[in-house]
Amino acid sequence: MTLVWYAAYGSNMHADRLRHYLRGGTPPGGLRTYPGCRDPADPRATAPVMLPGGIWFTGESAAWTGGYALYDPLLPGAAAARAYLLTAGQFADLVAQEMYRPPGADLADLGEVVRTGRLTLGPGRYETLVYAGARSGHPMLTFTAGFGRADGEPARPAPAYLGMLARGLHESHHWDATQITTYLLGRPGVTGAWDPADLAGVVAAALPA
């Protein structure tokens, strides 16, 4: 397996944010510095996609503070995502950085993920790989926690994090502020924890004028 689609559903929907995983560095508004991938090249292609299920926010993000986004294929509806065509090595290095591990080792079990639909690499929040179908002859993969919304408590995400998601949704899906606000308000962790007017303000401030 040479190329895979990485389906980003959180802050990596924003291309500049993803580049910090590829090339290394600290993204604006973030608290983590990333070492980068062995191959820092830009993705070969990118496309907006919708994944069956949904996202929700839980825990405490070390990079943003507040809840972080997880994908749960058992949630109703669809999760907006952005697919990036990467080499298998780039995807392995990206996964390693999300798991707070040093990049540099290939994932030997990508074929198993495609065959079984799911593979848990560890107990952490982004240590479960999920197969989300194929696109243009290449598998589409994402990662999430080994638990879903039914097994965890939602947590309110921080404004900076939601702003980054808003920019990613606008950039990849070309949604306007109203569409983005409506989408985010329906996500567990945001529902009931964010005032709609306050969230609309965060989204509007995040988008280009």
Is residue 178 assigned to a domain?
no
- 111: phi then psi, degrees, rounded to nearest 5: -65, -35
Contact 145, 128 (CB under 8 A): yes
Is residue 185 assigned to a domain?
no
Is the pLDDT confidence value at 109 over 90?
no
> pTM for the full model?
0.94
The predicted structure's pLDDT at residue 110: 85
The predicted structure's pLDDT at residue 100: 86
The structural domain count of the chain equals 1
Window from 27-31, 108-112, 153-157 with minimum mean pLDDT:
27-31
Q: Which domain holds residue 55?
A: 3-154
Is residue 202 assigned to a domain?
no
Span 55-84, pLDDT tens digits? 999 999 888 889 999 999 999 999 999 999
Is residue 201 assigned to a domain?
no
Confidence of residue 97 (pLDDT cuts 50, 70, 90): very high
Is residue 162 assigned to a domain?
no
Window from 2-6, 11-15, 95-99, 121-125 with minimum mean pLDDT:
121-125
Is residue 187 assigned to a domain?
no
Contact 100, 126 (CB under 8 A): no
Is residue 95 assigned to a domain?
yes
